[in-house]
Chains A and B, each alone.
Chain A
Amino acid sequence: MNRVRDVLMPCWGAVIAFLKVGLAMRFNFFMSLLVTLVASWVLVSVWRIIHGGSTTVQGVFGEQELVTYVIVAQVVNLARMGWINRNIVYRSLRHVRTGLIALDLARPIDLQVLRYVEWAAVFVVDLLLVAVPVWLVWYVSGSLALPASPVDAVFFFVSVALAWFVMCGIHFLVSLLIVWTYDEIGLLMVRTAIQEFFGGTLIPLALMPAPLAVLAAIMPFQAVVYTPVSIYLGRLQGQELIFALGLQAAWGVALLLAGRWLWGRAAPKLEIQGG
């Protein structure tokens, strides 16, 4: 019991601290809200133009479904250049480059655990203050369908939680690459570009031509956006649904282990120069 408490107490402390950090960034939320609303409006407009009044796109998506897809994808897009990426993830990258990581490493807590826990805290804040309001705005405007069924809604939330787990793995690996690349903004932009395309945020993966769709299927990014959105739309059922959730979990664990391995290699290379 005590051992459990020994492990949980530092994590809980970090969660609380970062909840507070998140809530201290009042203005960043309004910007994030705005960015997400604008991005989803642009994508909705683009797809409405492409759709051009025909009943389905490539025989796969009806208009209402496509619009719902695009909006929900924006809502759960953990790679968006909102405040989490611009402030919190950027901060962990900058810590490595500027040597502030020295202070993280002077603490009796595993660096990877610390990062996952920090990101969990800000993810909750982002969910409540950005994702839900954006969803509400679109819902009230009448463009958005509800989840296909109550059961799908429940699985959708499970899937979003797993998506967060996968995203932490991606964040952590990217934050270690800074040891070799020394450019945090560049790294984040590249990651966001790749992730938004291959994760299905811009174009549903079902509409991609075969070679690209295969490429997207073997990368972890679809586990962050495409899977939860497909569940929301009710496109994954039964065994397919269970498999998709299992795949998300598997990606989360694989990235966690990859992060541990890479950190083991990066830590001895860390050069913190200057006072």
Chain B
Amino acid sequence: MESDSQAIAVRNLIKTYRVEQRREGRLGWLRSFVTPNYQYIRALDGISFTIPPGEVVGLLGPNGAGKSTTVKIVAGIMYPNEGEVRVLARDPHRQRIQNAREIGVLFGQRSQLIDELPAIDSFQYLRAVYRIPQSEFQQRLDELTEVLELGPLLGQPVRTLSSGQRTRCDVAATFLHRPRVVFLDEPTVGLDVEAKQSIRRFIASMRDLHGVAVILTTHDLADIEELCERVILIDKGRVVYDGSLRRLINRFAASKAVQVEASASAQQMIKQTVQTHWPDATVELLGSMIRVSGLADAGGATDVARALLSLSEVGNLTITEPRVEEVIRNVFREGGIDEPSA
């Protein structure tokens, strides 16, 4: 592959799962017991992309789109049926062990720490497994402890930590051996705003200081907005968009959203007006504000704004950028983009 200078290069990945399917009919459960019915589901249907060193790329898609499957294959954990993967110019399946030395993984739903033991024991285990010299280990651990505020957590059995505390320890475990490529699968799932912030800051600093390449999958689009200039959208096992986040927003959300302060009665009126004239738009009530988004085109926002201002009992009006969430929702609602790559 000409892509040896890339941190990650993936070409035409295909992965099929065998999934049991309940038979139809009244006694389907019984017939399924005797003769199970399997179906083959194509989780990945020709995924290709490359990621250079030092880039954090967001991998987005609805549930079951193939995000986690992609991550597991690129990390060398699961094998594809077809296709080629290179991580730092290595085949992560043929050279799993050499590859594993250079990568870090974090599965937000599954802890990599040894449940029964305090986190410090897991770190010491990782020190041996990655053969980190003692002095370096101590220095990195001190750094991580400070940045992620692990101090009091290190000596406590992992199973007694809260999910936010555990995730912070997991993040430290992921970066302890200074990986050059990192896979973060929902690193901020189930965390409070502050914990999310500290983890995002930490990921950004690893990218900036050490040129780590990161694939980040998440359902929290604030993670993406803060960390990624580039996103890859996948749906039904295919890449439907690969390019800059900004461009995606500009292209896909030509519309702006309109936000206006309004009294309760005015809010009702606005809602009705919008629903009559712009049936595709989404109306949300946010306290004393009302937000209208998902308008078909740029002109739409101006029209809505004009209409709202003509109503009485309307205060401050702002035309804002759409939220990434709305953009993504639009992309998937419309079944992807015609020209897949940017």
Closest chain-A Cβ to B19's Cβ sits at a distance in Å of: 8
**Nearest A-chain residue to B186, judged by Cβ:** A275
Q: Could you tell me which residues of chain A, from 92 to 149, have a CB within 8 Å of some CB in chain B?
A: 99-100, 102-103, 105-110
In the complex, which of the residues A6, A17, A268, A272 contacts B124, with contact meaning CB atoms closer than 8 Å? A17
In the complex, which of the residues B18, B157, B185 contacts A24, with contact meaning CB atoms closer than 8 Å? B157
A270 and B79 in contact (CB under 8 A), knowing A21-B116, A108-B98, A108-B101? yes
In the complex, number of A-B residue pairs with CB atoms less than 8 Å apart = 92
Q: Chain B 104-137, CB within 8 Å of chain A: the 1/0 string?
A: 0101111010101100011011111111000000
- Contact, CB under 8 Å: B112 / A103: yes
Say yes or no: is A183 at the interface (Cβ < 8 Å to chain B).
no
- Contact, CB under 8 Å: A275 / B68: yes
- Contact, CB under 8 Å: B129 / A109: yes
Closest chain-A Cβ to B36's Cβ sits at a distance in Å of: 12
- Contact, CB under 8 Å: A13 / B129: yes
Q: In whole angstroms, how far apart are the Cα atoms of A9 and B130 in the complex? A: 9
Q: Chain A 257-275, CB within 8 Å of chain B: the 1/0 string?
A: 0000000000110111111
Among B68, B98, B101: residue with most chain A CB under 10 A: B68
Q: Chain A 11-26, CB within 8 Å of chain B: the 1/0 string?
A: 0111011001100110
- Contact, CB under 8 Å: A6 / B125: no
A106 and B103 in contact (CB under 8 A), knowing A13-B128, A272-B77? yes
- Contact, CB under 8 Å: B128 / A102: no
Return chain B residues, CB-CB under 8 Å to A13.
124-129
**Nearest B-chain residue to A8, judged by Cβ:** B128
Q: In whole angstroms, how far apart are the Cα atoms of A272 and B76 in the complex? A: 12
Closest chain-A Cβ to B218's Cβ sits at a distance in Å of: 11
Return chain B residues, CB-CB under 8 Å to A268.
79
A16 and B97 in contact (CB under 8 A), knowing A271-B17, A272-B77? no
Dominant secondary structure of chain B at its interface with chain A: mixed
What size tier do the contact residues of chain A reach? 20 to 34
- Contact, CB under 8 Å: B78 / A271: yes
- Contact, CB under 8 Å: A275 / B185: yes
- Contact, CB under 8 Å: B109 / A9: no
A275 and B109 in contact (CB under 8 A), knowing A10-B128, A13-B128, A17-B124? yes
Q: In whole angstroms, how far apart are the Cα atoms of A106 and B69 in the complex? A: 14
- Contact, CB under 8 Å: B77 / A105: yes
Q: Could you tell me which residues of chain A, from 7 to 59, have a CB within 8 Å of some CB in chain B?
A: 9-10, 12-14, 16-17, 20-21, 24-25
Say yes or no: is B90 at the interface (Cβ < 8 Å to chain A).
no
- Contact, CB under 8 Å: B78 / A14: no
Return chain A residues, CB-CB under 8 Å to B77.
102, 105-106, 270, 272
Closest chain-B Cβ to A248's Cβ sits at a distance in Å of: 30
Closest chain-B Cβ to A270's Cβ sits at a distance in Å of: 6
Q: Could you tell me which residues of chain B, from 259 to 273, have a CB within 8 Å of some CB in chain A?
A: none
- Contact, CB under 8 Å: B131 / A103: no
Q: Could you tell me which residues of chain B, from 11 to 39, have a CB within 8 Å of some CB in chain A?
A: 17-18
- Contact, CB under 8 Å: A270 / B129: no
A17 and B79 in contact (CB under 8 A), knowing A103-B112, A273-B17, A275-B185? no
- Contact, CB under 8 Å: A17 / B131: no
In the complex, which of the residues A10, A24, A100, A272 contacts B117, with contact meaning CB atoms closer than 8 Å? A24
Return chain B residues, CB-CB under 8 Å to A10.
128-131
Say yes or no: is B75 at the interface (Cβ < 8 Å to chain A).
yes
Say yes or no: is B274 at the interface (Cβ < 8 Å to chain A).
no
Return chain A residues, CB-CB under 8 Å to B108.
275
Return chain A residues, CB-CB under 8 Å to B78.
102, 270-272
**Nearest A-chain residue to B80, judged by Cβ:** A268
In the complex, which of the residues A17, A99, A100, A274 contacts B125, with contact meaning CB atoms closer than 8 Å? A17
Say yes or no: is B200 at the interface (Cβ < 8 Å to chain A).
no
Q: In whole angstroms, how far apart are the Cα atoms of A268 and B171 in the complex? A: 28
Q: Could you tell me which residues of chain A, from 225 to 275, have a CB within 8 Å of some CB in chain B?
A: 267-268, 270-275
Q: In whole angstroms, how far apart are the Cα atoms of A108 and B122 in the complex? A: 15
**Nearest A-chain residue to B110, judged by Cβ:** A100
Q: In whole angstroms, how far apart are the Cα atoms of A14 and B121 in the complex? A: 10
Q: In whole angstroms, how far apart are the Cα atoms of A103 and B72 in the complex? A: 10
Q: In whole angstroms, how far apart are the Cα atoms of A34 and B24 in the complex? A: 49
30 A-B contacts, Cβ less than 8 Å apart? A9-B131, A10-B128, A10-B129, A10-B130, A10-B131, A13-B124, A13-B127, A13-B128, A16-B124, A17-B117, A17-B124, A99-B110, A102-B75, A102-B77, A103-B110, A103-B112, A105-B77, A106-B75, A106-B77, A106-B103, A107-B100, A108-B100, A108-B130, A109-B100, A272-B72, A272-B77, A273-B69, A275-B68, A275-B107, A275-B109
Instruction: Please provide the 10 A-B residue pairs with the shortest distance between their CB atoms, ordered closest to farther.
Output: A13-B128, A108-B100, A17-B125, A268-B79, A108-B101, A24-B116, A106-B105, A10-B129, A105-B77, A103-B112
